[in-house]
């Protein structure tokens, strides 16, 4: 347990040491979301119709930004080798890295999400659900993105490869996340979509660490 906490603290420190990584992701998210009304025209009705979907697509892209480096630096400087030699094991290390990444980047992004939704013409009373769905989706983005980051280790232009691998797997998160917000704003029942979103994210949390561990070991050998 001491080992797990020590790694968690190190990952948080490294995430904030990477030249303000979390703030950068929030800036990117807000930037993409602001481009949308410019492209779509200022008609509030048209904008409100596409806003939830567009906001979630932007969230997926913003989460991807810092993910590509999740294992790369540890791989390059030999830390990944040494992480396999700790008693918690590599799968636990991968899970801790993703959780720390979620707290460092996913949580600030989720906090930005209500502001983005309002900027896109969403009603302010959607904000709690927007925050909750963004936070849950972020959990899934980070664990699934971690698989991509591990698979892309050692590849040239790994960042693009990560995007190509994981964006299809982000689909259910975007569909259910935007679906829940959309349902609430049109007065439908939003709970099923939220439940499916949570289920997908938690499944990813449970299974992805083993895939990440296997992919890292493959890159090491």
Residues that bind other proteins in the complex, under the rule CB under 8 A: 2-3, 5-7, 9-10, 13-14, 17, 73-74, 76-89, 217, 220-221
CA 117, chain centre distance (Å): 17
Distance from C-alpha of 183 to C-alpha of 134, rounded to nearest angstrom: 15
**Buried b or exposed e, range 100-114, using 16+ CB within 10 angstroms:** bbbbbbbebbbebbb
Q: Which is nearer to other proteins, 81 or 189 (CB)?
A: 81
To other proteins, the closest distance from the beta carbon of 163 in angstroms equals: 26
Q: Which is nearer to other proteins, 18 or 203 (CB)?
A: 18
To other proteins, the closest distance from the beta carbon of 96 in angstroms equals: 10
To other proteins, the closest distance from the beta carbon of 13 in angstroms equals: 7
Q: Which is nearer to other proteins, 96 or 174 (CB)?
A: 96
Q: Which is nearer to other proteins, 3 or 169 (CB)?
A: 3
CA distances from 92 to 4, 60, 213 (A): 8, 24, 8
To other proteins, the closest distance from the beta carbon of 66 in angstroms equals: 16
Phi, psi of 186 (to 5 degrees): -100, 10
Q: Which is nearer to other proteins, 66 or 185 (CB)?
A: 66
Q: Which phi-psi region, left, alpha or beta, contains residue 115 (left: φ > 0; alpha: ψ -120 to 50)?
A: alpha
To other proteins, the closest distance from the beta carbon of 68 in angstroms equals: 18
For 18, which DSSP code?
A: T
């Amino acid at each position: 347990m001491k080992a797990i906490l020590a790694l968690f603290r190190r990952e948080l420190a490294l995430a904030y040491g990477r030249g303000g990584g979390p703030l950068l992701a929030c800036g990117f998210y807000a930037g993409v979301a602001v481009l949308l009304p410019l492209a779509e025209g200022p008609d509030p009705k048209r904008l409100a119709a596409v806003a939830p979907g567009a906001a979630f697509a932007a969230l997926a892209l913003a989460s991807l930004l810092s993910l590509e480096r999740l294992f790369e630096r540890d791989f390059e400087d030999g830390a990944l080798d040494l992480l396999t030699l700790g008693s918690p094991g590599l799968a636990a290390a991968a899970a801790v890295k993703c959780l720390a990444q979620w707290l460092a980047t996913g949580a600030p992004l989720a906090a930005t999400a209500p502001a983005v939704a309002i900027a896109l013409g969403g009603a302010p009373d959607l904000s709690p659900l927007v925050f909750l769905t963004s936070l849950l989706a972020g959990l899934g983005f980070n664990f699934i993105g971690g698989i991509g980051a591990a698979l892309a280790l050692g590849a040239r232009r790994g960042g693009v490869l990560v995007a190509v691998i994981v964006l299809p797997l982000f689909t259910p998160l975007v569909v259910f996340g935007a679906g829940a917000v959309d349902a609430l704003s049109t007065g439908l029942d939003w709970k099923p979509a939220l439940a499916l979103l949570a289920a997908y994210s938690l499944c990813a949390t449970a299974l992805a660490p083993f895939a990440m561990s296997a992919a890292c070991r493959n890159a090491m050998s």
